[in-house]
Amino acid sequence: MSHTFNITRSGNRKHKIAVIDGPNMTSLGNRSKQVYGTIASLKDLQDFVTGFGNDLGVEIETFASNYQGAILEFIHESAHRVDGYIINPAGATTIGEAIRHALQDSERPVIEVHFANISAEPAMPRGLNSGKLISTFTHSATGMCMGMRQYSYSGALLAMVQALDDATFLGAQD
C-alpha cells in the first residue's frame, strides 16, 4: 500500500516520532472488520505509518508488544532520542497506568490513538462490541485521535508534526 501526501510544514526539523502499539495489536487483521477495517497485519499498519511519516519528512520508530513491561522499557530507553509519542494502548487502555506514568515522565508530547471510537455505543459504527471504555491515558495525553481506523494514526502524526514545528506549542523543542 503506497501513498504520497503533499503537506506543507512550518518547520524543517526532522523530528523523530515513536509509534507504540499495545496488547492485541499483533492480531490486527484477525479482528472485527467493522472496527479495524482491512489492514491485514501490524506490519502493514507500521508500513502505512512509516510511509506517511516519510512523506511528512519525519523519522518514525515503531514498537509493539503484548507486554506492558516491554512497553515501559521501550519508553524509558527511547525518551532521550524521540520528540514525541503516538500510542495505541489497545489492551492496556483501561489498565495501563504504569505506561501512562512513563509517558508523562518522558516530558514529550503524547497522542493517544485508537482504531475504534472507544467512547461510542457498541451499536455505532466503529464502536467496540464490548461497549465504551474509559482510558487511563486520555487525561494526561497531549491529544487524542480515534474512530478512524488506521487513519487515526495519520491524523495523530500530522498533528504531532505540526505541533512540534510550532515553537509556541506545549512540548515543542528547538
Res. 172: pLDDT tops 50? no
Q: Measured between alpha carbons, how far is 3 from 116 in angstroms, rounded to an integer?
A: 22
Res. 3: pLDDT tops 60? no
- Report, as an integer, the average pLDDT of 75-85: 98
- State the pLDDT confidence band at 6, using cuts at 50, 70 and 90: low
- Name the one residue in this structure whose C-alpha cell is 495523530: 156
Q: Measured between alpha carbons, how far is 141 from 120 in angstroms, rounded to an integer?
A: 19
- Report, as an integer, the average pLDDT of 36-40: 89
Annotated catalytic, 114?
yes
Annotated catalytic, 36?
yes
The enclosing H or E element of 74 equals helix 68-78
Tell me which of 67, 76, 101, 114 is the catalytic residue: 114
Tell me which of 15, 36, 85, 153 is the catalytic residue: 36
CATH top class, domain 16-165: alpha beta
Q: Where are the domains of the chain?
A: 16-165
Percent of the chain with pLDDT over 90: 70
pTM, full prediction: 0.90
Percent of the chain with pLDDT over 70: 92
Q: Measured between alpha carbons, how far is 144 from 131 in angstroms, rounded to an integer?
A: 19
